Amino acid sequence: KAEKGYDFCIVRSGDSMHTIAQRYGIRLKNLYKMNKLPDDYTPSVGDTLRLR
């Protein structure tokens, strides 16, 4: 689970859904599910993703 205080993540340059999931300790499929995104989604710099 993401540490307390991290409810959202703003995508930075070079981030992928996999690296975001790894950084916050979230399963990749749960990250897609929480954000209601398709499996082939590629994040853009500045996108906001829910972590909880």
Residue 16 is assigned to a structural domain of this protein: yes
Domain CATH number, residue 33: 3.10.350.10
Distance CA 52, CA 40 (A): 21
Residue 33 is assigned to a structural domain of this protein: yes
pLDDT, position 1: 59
Residue 32 is assigned to a structural domain of this protein: yes
DSSP state, residue 42 = -
Residue 1 is assigned to a structural domain of this protein: no
What domain range is 36 assigned to? 8-50
Total domain count, the chain: 1
Residue 2 is assigned to a structural domain of this protein: no
The band of 7, judged by pLDDT with boundaries at 50, 70 and 90, is confident
Q: Which residues contact 32 (CB under 8 A, 6 or more apart)?
A: 17, 38, 39, 41
Residue 29 is assigned to a structural domain of this protein: yes
Residue 49: is it exposed, middle or buried by C-beta count within 10 angstroms (0-12/13-18/19+)?
buried
Cα 48 versus chain centre, distance: 8
- Please determine, for residue 4, whether its predicted confidence score (pLDDT) is greater than 80: no
The band of 49, judged by pLDDT with boundaries at 50, 70 and 90, is very high
The band of 48, judged by pLDDT with boundaries at 50, 70 and 90, is very high
**What integer is the mean pLDDT of 21-34?**
92
